[in-house]
Amino acid sequence: MRRPSMAVLANTHPTTRQLRQRLLAVLAVLALLVAACGADDESTSISDAADSGGFAADVASDDSEDFDDDAMEDEGRSSDVVTDGGSADSGNLAAQGDAEAPATTSGEGSGLGEGPEPLPQTAADLGRKIIFEATINVEVDNVAASEVEAKRIIADLGGFLFGQSTTGGSAAQSTLVFKVLPEDFNRALAGLGEIGELRSQSVTTDDVTERIVDISARIEVMELGVERLSTALENTSDFEEFARVENLLLNREAELAVLKGQLRTLEDRVDLSTITLVLGQDLLQNSVTLETTFYEGHDDGVGCPGEGNSSVETGSALTVCYEITNTGDLTLRDLQLVDTVLEIDENTPLIPIFGELAELAPGQSTVVAYEVTPERRVRPRTRVTGQPVEADTAESVGTRVSSINNYEINTFDPPEEPGLNDGFGNGFDTAVDILKALWKGLVAIVGFLIPMLVLLPIVWVLWKTWGAYRKRFPAQPKQIRGQPAPYYQSSAPPPADPPGNTVFQPPAPGRKTPKPDEAELPESE
C-alpha cells in the first residue's frame, strides 16, 4: 500500500470531489428518512440503516480529510457502497413488510363464517416493547407463612425471587420483589392479592419501543464508526495524526459501551416484569377504657352514672360508679377491677348495674358500682384488665389489656351550731380586729409625719421673722380715689386750735358730733 506523503497529509481543505461525495451522502440520508416515515413498525430498520449509512459517510468524510486524493476516492466509494447498501436493505425490508402485512390480515379472518379472531393480548403480539411494574400491599395474619405462599405462587408461574427485606416484632413486615414473564404478569398479581387482605395496588407501564429502536440504531452506527477509525488508525504513520485518531477512537468506544448497557437494561426490564409485594401484619387493636363518676348516698347503684364531683362530708356515704368499655377489635373476657386504696380486688363484690364482667364484646360497655364511706381525703388508682379472645374459638390472643384511672375523693368537716361562747368570741375577735386597724392607721400617720420633723425648725424661723416684719412696718390704710383721706389716728391728743380761730373742724370719724346749741361759742367782747 502506498504511504501518504506529508504534503498530502497537510492538505486538509476539502476538494470538489469530497464536497460532491458529502452532498450525495446527505441526500441519500434524507431520502431514506422520508421513506421511513410511511413504513410500518417492521420497517423501522429502514431508518436505522439510513442513519447508519449517513453517519458512516460523515465519519468517512471526516477521517478522509487527512489522506491523499486516492485514499479519499477509496473511502468515498466505500461510503457510497455503504449508503447504497443501506438503501437496498431498506428497500428489501420495506418490501418484506408489505408482503407480510396481507398475511397477518388474512389470518385474522380466514373464513367467511368464522369471523375475526381475538385481538392479541400481550405486548409481544402487538409488536411493542413495554415494561410492566406493580406494587401491592397485603395484610396477613402470619407474615412468615405468607412469604412461603407468595414464593410458591411465583414459582408455579415460572418466575423467581429477585429481592427480599423482612422486619420482625409485633408489627412484622416483609417486602419481596419478584420477576415474572410479561404474559404471566396479571395472573401473578391476582394470585398474590389473594394471600391476605389487599390494601393497595398500583400498576405502571412504560412503552420503550422507540427508545430501544433508537439505541439499537445508534449502536450500529457507532460500531461502524469504531471499525472505520480502527482501520484509519492502522494506516496512519504520522505521530500527531495517530494520537488524534486514537483519542477519537477511545471516545467512540466508550460511547458504544454506554449505549450497549442502556439497551441491555431496557431489554431485561421488558423481558421480565417486576412485582413488589409488601406483606404487613394484620394488627388488631385491643384496648379497654375506664370512666369513674360519683354521687352521695348508698342505694345499690341506682344513681349510676353519677357526677364528676367527689367532694363529700367526712363520714358520709359515697357511691363510686365504674363504666368499662371495650374499644378493641376482639372480645374481652375475665374482666377484673383492682384498687389498692379502696381495697378492691378480684374477690370484692361489686354491684352490677348493666352488662357483665365475664365477657365484653367489641364496642360494648358495662357499669358496676362500689359503696364507700371516706373518712379522709384519698387518691384511688383503679385499674381494669381483660383478656382478648377470638369470638368463634374463644382462644386467647396476645396479652391482657388494661386501663388505669386516677382520681381524688375530697372530704370536709360539717359546720358547727353557733353558741354563747361563739358570740362572745366573735365580738372579742371583732374588737381586736378594730384595734389592729386603728393601730395600723396610727403607724401610717406617724410614718408620714416623721420625715416632716426636719421642716419644723425652718417653719418656726420663718414665722418669727414674719412677725417682726409686721411690727416694724405696720400696714397703711389704703386710700380710695374720690374720697377724703382718712383722719390720722394716733394715741396722742390732737393739737389745740390757736386762739381766735373760729374755723369749724369736722369731728373725727367715730366721734359724736355736738349739737349746735351745745357747741361752745367764743365769748364776744
Same domain? 93 vs 131? no
With a cut of 80, say whether residue 26 has pLDDT above it: no
Residue 440 pLDDT > 50: yes
Range of the domain at 149: 126-206+273-280
pLDDT (0 to 100) of residue 28:
59
* pLDDT tens digits for range 99-112: 333 333 333 333 33
- Residue 21 is assigned to a structural domain of this protein: yes
At 247-282, the pLDDT tens digits run 998 998 999 999 999 999 888 888 899 999 999 987
Do residue 302 and residue 385 come from a single domain?
yes
> Which pLDDT score, from 0 to 100, does residue 279 have?
93
pLDDT recorded at residue 444: 87
Residue 72 lies in a domain: yes
pLDDT at residue 243 greater than cutoff 50: yes
Asked which of 363, 394, 412 is the last residue of a domain, the reply is: 412
More confident residue, 262 or 419: 262
In a domain, 18, yes or no: yes
Of residues 234 and 64, more confidently modeled: 234
Q: Has residue 96 got a pLDDT over 80?
A: no
Whether 86 and 139 share a structural domain:
no
**What pLDDT sits at residue 188?**
93
Whether 25 and 87 share a structural domain = yes
Q: Are residues 54 and 136 in the same domain?
A: no
Q: What average pLDDT does this structure show over 292-297?
A: 90
* Residue 329 predicted with pLDDT over 70: yes
354 - beta bridge partners?
367
Domain containing residue 131: CATH number: 3.30.70.260
* Banded pLDDT at 515 (limits 50, 70, 90): low
Same domain, 392 and 297: yes
When pLDDT is cut at 50, 70 and 90, the band that residue 20 belongs to is low
Q: Are 402 and 339 in contact (CB under 8 A)?
A: no
Q: Do 314 and 401 fall within a single domain?
A: yes
Q: Is the pLDDT of residue 319 over 80?
A: yes
Q: Which of 54-63, 178-187, 237-246, 418-427 has the lowest mean pLDDT?
A: 54-63
9 & 89 share domain:
yes
| Domain presence at residue 76 | yes
Q: Which of 235, 256, 280 is the last residue of a domain?
A: 280
- In this prediction, residue 48 has a pLDDT band, given cuts at 50, 70 and 90, of very low
Query: Pairing mode, if any, of strands 130-140 and 273-281?
Result: parallel
Give 425's pLDDT tier (boundaries 50, 70, 90): low
pLDDT of residue 80: 39
pLDDT score, position 475: 67
Which of 373-382, 402-411, 466-475, 493-502 comes out lowest in average pLDDT? 493-502
Question: For residue 424, what pLDDT is reported?
Answer: 55
* pLDDT over threshold 60, residue 386: yes
pLDDT of residue 382: 94
Q: Up-side HSE of residue 382: CA atoms within 13 Å toward CB?
A: 23
User: Is 352 within the bounds of a domain?
Assistant: yes
Residue 242 is assigned to a structural domain of this protein: no
Q: How far is CA 270 from the centre of its chain?
A: 37
Q: Does some domain include residue 336?
A: yes
Q: State whether 139 and 92 are in the same domain.
A: no
Which segment, 43-52, 178-187, 413-422, is predicted with the most confidence on average? 178-187
pLDDT at 92 exceeding the cut of 50: no
Indicate whether 141 and 186 sit together in one domain. Answer: yes
Alpha helices in 194-238 (DSSP H): 209-234
Does one domain contain both 193 and 308?
no
| Average confidence score pLDDT of the chain | 73
DSSP state of 182: G
Higher per-residue pLDDT: 476 or 70: 476
User: Of 385, 412, 439, which one is at a domain's C-terminal end?
Assistant: 412
**192, pLDDT greater than 70:** yes
- pLDDT-based confidence at residue 337 (cuts at 50, 70, 90): very high
Give pLDDT tens digits for 459-511. 888 888 888 888 887 766 665 565 555 554 555 555 555 555 555 555 555 55
CB 136 within 8 A of CB 188: no
Q: Is the pLDDT of residue 288 over 90?
A: yes
Q: How confident is the model at residue 394 (pLDDT cuts 50, 70, 90)?
A: confident
The answer to whether the beta carbons of residues 232 and 63 sit under 8 Å apart is yes
Please tell me whether the overall predicted TM-score, pTM, comes out greater than 0.75 for this model: no
Give the number of domains in the chain.
3
Q: Is 2 in the same domain as 69?
A: yes
Q: Which string of DSSP letters, residue by residue, matches 139-174?
A: EES-HHHHHHHHHHHHHHTT-EEEEEEEE-STT-EE
Q: What is the Cα–Cα distance from 417 to 35, expressed in whole angstroms?
A: 119
**CA 146 to chain CA centroid, nearest Å:** 34
**Contact present, 460 and 453 (Cβ < 8 Å):** no
Residue 202 inside a domain? The answer is yes
Q: Give the whole-angstrom CA distance, residue 274 versus residue 122.
A: 16
> Which pLDDT score is estimated for 478?
62
Angular region, 297: left φ>0, alpha ψ -120 to 50, beta rest: left
pLDDT of residue 481: 62
**What is the C-alpha to C-alpha distance for residues 263 and 210, in angstroms, rounded to an integer?**
12
Percent of the chain scored above 90 by pLDDT?
Answer: 26
For residue 41, name the pLDDT band (cuts at 50, 70, 90). very low
CATH number at residue 392: 2.60.40.10
Three cell numbers at 420? 354563747
